[in-house]
A and B are shown apart, each in its own frame.
Chain A
Amino acid sequence: MHSSVREANFQALLSDDSEVRSHVSDLVEVYEAIRTEDVRGTRLAHMVNAAHVTQPQSDLVYDGTRLRESSLPASALASFIQFLDCNYPVTAGSRDMISAEAKFLDSFSLRGVQYSTMSYRTRNSHILFRPFQPGSASKALGHSKPGQITHIFLHSLPSSPHSRAQAAQGGSRRPDVYLCVQPYSFLQPELCDTDRMYRRFGFAGGFLCQRELAPIIVIEPPNIVCHVAVTPLNIKGHPLLHILPMDRVRLWVSSHFRSKELIV
């Protein structure tokens, strides 16, 4: 309590007296860094710095100094083109202009949660996501799939109408972030009964899938639902993977309450 009161007095002195502040400018800089430090679980920086209340902030944050230029693997490029065809349809043939060159990232933060590639930090690479469904605006969470992030890349689309308009005005478009994800394969039909014993508990029980990864698909960060906890299990001699969604913001949770009737 003593130190908190002293700190409050010190803050008042600094904000009221510009002469004092100018004398200890070096000290103030260090003090501000400590005061706004994002100590785990305290949300200190969030409360002290009220900028987020008045200024719109991006949900997606990444370290621009860690970008690496490289080429997309052939399988990822093919999936990327397929993704663009489905999401941003343009005239036939214009996809030939899509370059394999991209800037790669190891991790990014979405709404304060870190997501990484499997090679950088495996435990942050397991996600539940909504795969794109061509011709459907539905974001039904029942269609969410588990998968693992293999690449995170930034790509500027030279052929998009938006880019062309910006290029015509002499501006440069900020590249968009995309993710290559390998979904976990669906269970074989004979194992559905085993899966049901988990699924009947809804969001609290999780579900099973095969350990094998399906071919790469490309998604955008807003397609991510949440992280998942993965556990390799051997059930009835089958090597399976248990997936437990770790959603604390009710996106997945609210639509997966246990289906059974509760006796009240």
Chain B
Amino acid sequence: MFGYYLRLALKSFGRNPGITALMVIAIALGIAVCVMTLTVYHAMSGNPIWWKNDRLYAVTMDNWDPNHPLIPSRPELPPPEMTYKDTQFLFASNIPERKVVMYSTEGVVSGVGTAPPAQIATRVTTADFFAMFEVPFLYGNGWTAGADRPPQPLIVLSRRENEKLFGGANSVGRTLRWNDHEFRIVGVLNDWFPRPRYYDLNGGNFQTPDDAYIPYAWGSDLQLLNKEENDCWRPEKLDNFRDFEASDCVWQQMWVELPDAASLVRFQSFMDGYWAEQRKAGRFERPKNNRLTNVSHWLRDNQVVDNDNRVLVGLAFAFLALCLINTVGLLLAKFLNGAAVTGIRRALGASRRQIFGQLLIEVGVVSVLGALLGLALAALGLLAVHHMYAAAHLGERGGSQELMHFDVVGVVWALILAVAATLAAGLYPAWRIGRLSPAVYLKSQ
């Protein structure tokens, strides 16, 4: 039966090729626009470590100016980064299963063969970083907590950097110079590109991870600042790096891994206790706002999916609705045009249900053709946007162009939308024609 209805549908398209083409194009445009925006939206709104959503927490405390919040439009949020002294105190706690204090800085790598010295983004971090964020290694490993302080001259490279410096060979055990200090390579990461880069959203939500990692206390020893955000508010002595470490400036990122609800409660009360003590000493003048934020809330708080993208998704669906209503009109016109044929089929014994089914299959074929064309258009559209973004970035990775990839999400959405379109656009016309009394159409012949 299905095959026969399919043939009937194709025959019917042949009768009105113009209207059929118009319907296919309308559905295709609607689906293409929706698939494009949904693909980007999906890539933006992903949680790259969802399986640890009830374990990983960003640690923040509101130490900011009592007169105004750091982000005027978001007064409820504490600064996204912490002071050096607060992270030092909280890091001493044994409640978390894993804990990381870190920030991204820049350093020049030299002393490798004939490779010219070049500046690379370098993360100064405590040892748990790799295990906590489940960073894959190609060669070697990270370092142990003992290497953090006093800092050992150990370094982990990204796969990209290892390819640049060593042609991709196993470089574990070799040395290089970082800001003219000798470091020994202990590990090389495998490809790793969490999108968004949730653990550090500075400088753009889709930045590539850093190309090198060194033990945390090098930050103090070599007086390294955060390369993106070092925010201060209190007029206090700030003449050298030690002042800076003792100040209310925020520039350090802290994450903890808490295995269960009990440890979450314990760490929260540990923070609150520290906060109360410090407040007595004159700090933390703003209302108490000690936060442990899981990754999905962290992404929401930091508005990784920006409002523009939500507006675009809404707009895309409004446009799809427009296209579908258009298709309903065209289908109705087309079916009424062919009502005489339907009348004959009814007179020859086809039931209403059979007519309904047959017409719905006809609509289904239009939708599937529309979805296929729509997928192709969406893929082209995303490619075009990707090129536009990549061109603006001069080919460097790590911008929003990382989102413009056509993937299985787009295909799934196209399928869902095609079915929805068939039902939305086809039900009423098919039902309406199915209900027509065959006699009227037979008579006029």
Q: Please determine whether chains A and B interact with each other in the same assembly.
A: no
